[in-house]
Amino acid sequence: MAELERLVRRDRNHPSIVLWSVFNEEPMQGTKQGSQMVRRMVAKVKSLDATRSVTAAMNDGLFTPVNVSQAVDVVGFNYQYQNYDTFHKAQPTLPITSSEDCSAFMTRGEYKTIKDKPIIAAYDDDAADWGTTQRVGWKAIAERPLSDLICYFLPAPMSRASSIA
């Protein structure tokens, strides 16, 4: 928790920070213990910077009865573009973001995949089992309503607490 506090205190005045992320693919994300842990982390972040929302990058556990998605402001989806609509239907008030979706392989400058050699065409055709190509991932995002985050984050009041380390 001390490391999280140092991070927020150090970076809270950076204009490029739009969300605080409290984890990436935490193994306990779909458990009660994970949810409790993240609630404490979110509370710590909010006590240091009440102007920004908190997210967590989830790759599992989104549909368990108690999970981390209920503890954050914005749910980060890692490699689960096919679950956007199902999750939104179950949790219509929770904003989601694509924290990681695409994991495509390619060899720069190659035009043809040769399977028996380590050569993969540079045309976004081959993806990892857990991910997808850029084209598929971007299409999944483009087909849904988007927000530019302005409605969530501006205007942000500048408090004395967020301006002083």
CB atoms within 10 A of CB 8: 19
Q: Which residues contact 110 (CB under 8 A, 6 or more apart)?
A: 119, 120, 121, 122
Q: Give the domain range for residue 35.
A: 2-100
Q: Is residue 25 flagged as an active site residue?
A: yes
Catalytic residue, candidates 5, 25, 26, 110: 25
| Res. 66: pLDDT tops 50 | yes
The reply to whether 23 falls in a domain is: yes
Q: Enter the tokens of residue 98.
A: 């694509």
- 0.85 cut: is pTM over it? no
| Number of domains the chain contains | 1
Is 149 inside any structural domain? no
| Residue 85 belongs to some domain of the structure | yes
**Assigned domain for 159 exists:** no
Q: What band does 147 get if pLDDT is binned at 50, 70 and 90? A: low
In a domain, 160, yes or no: no
For residue 99, give both structure tokens.
């924290």
pLDDT tens track for 67-126? 999 999 999 999 999 999 999 999 999 999 999 988 888 888 999 999 899 899 998 888
Asked if the structure places residue 148 within a domain, the reply is no
Q: Does residue 162 sit within a domain?
A: no
Determine, yes or no, domain membership for 8. yes
What per-residue string of b and e applies to 14-38 under the rule 16 or more CB within 10 Å gives b?
Answer: eeeeebbebbeebebbbbeebbebb
- CB 53 within 8 Å of CB 164: no
